[in-house]
Structure 1
Amino acid sequence: MGLTNDLFPRWLLLLTALLFAGVLLRAIRQTDWQWLRSEQRIQHCLFGAAVVLGFLWQLRAGLSPGLSIHIFGMTAVTLMLGWPLAVFSGLLALVIVVITGREPLSLFAVNGLITVMVPALVTHGIMRWERWVNFRNFFAYIFFCGFFGAGASVAAAGLTMVGLLWLTGVYDWYHLVHDYLRYLPLFLLPEGFVNGVVVTGLMVFHPELLATLDERRYR
């Protein structure tokens, strides 16, 4: 989902820009730059994921004026790269979306926060929980981090967007519930399926591409 029209007041754009900058700074600080420079495989995954996401986000459907939906794919990218690099990859994809005219540059921070950062952080949180519980079956990683993580990340992003639209008075609560929130569960299923299938395929055929996967825990 993404915003295609400038719907928000200036103060909210400034607030989201500050939040965006804070998360981006955190991602920069938590990135192992030496590891990134030395691992061509990770570089290829980062830029390759950005291109795939940039193409995937072109395929969208409009709900209300200025509001569209699309598959995120951020959960699979987060499990591949870790949340800091997933944020960079997602923002590069968002640059592609802006260049192609799908979303305005003025909403880059808002869309970056909703489309990229919230899903990446939610997926990271679920992955940390899965590690903390210390499941010993690799299906737990696939189901909780892949399928469930994707659905939860989209739900969090959708609720964040609805909250912003409601608090600023862009749409009233009745409109948001009847034209968006009641359809939100339908968005979770394809998102969970797409990301879950990608994570399952990588875990079976190329587990080395999942930077967040600790294979020693499932032996």
Structure 2
Amino acid sequence: MFEITFMQGTAWIIYLAGIVFVLTRISFNQFRQNKKLQHLVLGSSVSVFGLWLFRVGIEPGLDVHFLWLTAMTLLLGLRWALISGFCTLLVSTVAGYDSWAMFGINGVLGISIPIVISYLIYNFSFHKLPRHFFMYVFVCAFLAGAAMIAVKMLLLSGYYYADGIYSGDTIYDSYLLLIPLLLMSEGMLNGWTMTILVIYKPTWVYTFYDKHYLHGK
């Protein structure tokens, strides 16, 4: 049995409780009957898992890779994005790319919070900013993607320091210094993904509505 710290155990409880809460608020009948939703949820999980395979890092745990969670949130909506992210993390952990001790931490700090932040930025943009195609792509996808990866790396850095796993100098030199290099890349990945989707497959995107972003513009 793997050993976990108090913070890791607490994160396990919080993450699994959150997933159970989300599961009680989605319709499995809808999922069984809606083939398009099945393909989108499963396809998103597979796509994100594929991106997560390409990771680099010096110290264990302090590795970086594309997340693509903002695009997944815009594509699926908040609840299904959280479920899809859980499936991706579960497969990644079972396959040995992530540790079971870190499952809760990765779920809360690396998936759930970035997805919620991405959805909150989308909500803010939808209700407070002009509803325009370029506003959707730039704010909801590009800026949200960049902000999401920065928040994820800052939160994980704080955890590694608070739990005494790495020193502040090690975290800064091996992890935090990479944030500026990843902001543009992650933002562009999410921005281009959503640009292509809303142009060629707008009916796939849960958060995009032609009548709000295109008609009359």
Q: Which has the higher mean CA deviation after the structures are superposed, 35-44 or 122-131? A: 35-44
Structure 2 residue 97 is the aligned partner of structure 1 residue 102: yes
TM-score, normalising length: structure 1: 0.90
Residue 155 in structure 1 maps to residue 150 in structure 2: yes
Q: Which amino acid in the other structure matches residue 136 of structure 2?
A: Y
Q: Distance in 2 between matches of 1:201 and 1:78?
A: 15
How far apart in 2 are the matches of 1:46 and 1:110?
23
> Of 111, 118, 122, which residue of structure 2 is paired with 1:116?
111
Q: Does 1:194 align with 2:192?
A: no
Aligned residue in 2 for 1:3:
none
- More moved, 169-178 vs 115-124: 169-178
Structure 1 residues not aligned, in runs of 5+? 1-5
Spell out, residue by residue over 1:189-217, the C-alpha distance to the aligned partner (whole angstroms, 9 max, x if none): 11111111110000111111110112221
Task: Give unpaired runs (5+ residues) of structure 2.
Answer: none
Match of 1:212? 207
1:131 aligns with 2:129: no
Distance 1:215 1:27 in 2: 28
Runs of 4+ in 1 over 4 A off after TM superposition: none
Q: Using the alignment, how far apart are the partners of 2:209 and 2:27 within structure 1?
A: 18
Q: How far apart, CA to CA, are the structure 1 residues paired with 2:163 and 2:8? A: 11
**Pairing partner for 2:43 from 38, 43, 48:** 48
Following TM superposition, by how much is the alpha carbon of 1:134 offset from its aligned partner in structure 2, in angstroms?
A: 4.0
Q: Percent identity?
A: 26
CA distance in 2, matches of 1:185, 1:36: 39
Q: Is the 8 A contact 2:63 2:175 kept in 1?
A: no
How far apart, CA to CA, are the structure 2 residues paired with 1:134 and 1:192? 19
Greater alpha carbon shift after TM alignment, 132-141 vs 38-47: 132-141
Corresponding residue number in structure 2 for 1:81: 76
Normalising by structure 2, we get a TM-score of: 0.90
Query: Residues of 2 paired with 1:98 and 1:14: CA distance?
Result: 16
